Structure 1
Amino acid sequence: MFWTELCFILVALMIGARIGRRIFRDGRRVRRRRDGFYFWPDAFYATD
């Protein structure tokens, strides 16, 4: 029982780390994309 639970916890942690990294990367990409496409045109329109 102990070893099966330990293996299950380790696998769950590995999967969670992978999913967390993917979500973190996507969040950074979305943030950069938002900075590039939404805030820049606003600055250009403000100057015009």
Structure 2
Amino acid sequence: MIDVTADPDGETPYECFQCGQIIVAETPPGRCPDCGGEIRNRRTPIE
């Protein structure tokens, strides 16, 4: 995740598991606005 900076007070990048859409927002968007898929916070590692 070299394209993500560590700024907890700023906007956070979120990514859709289904279509890969990147959404930058201050609050979690819930569902992807493009496909309705599940969103993940890109700052949280996936194991």
Above 0.5 in TM-score?
A: no
Query: Structure 1 length as normaliser, TM-score?
Result: 0.18
| Bigger relative contact order (CA 8 A; separation at least 6) | 2
Query: Structure 2 length as normaliser, TM-score?
Result: 0.18
Structure with the higher fraction of residues in strand conformation: 2
Structure with max Cα Rg: 1
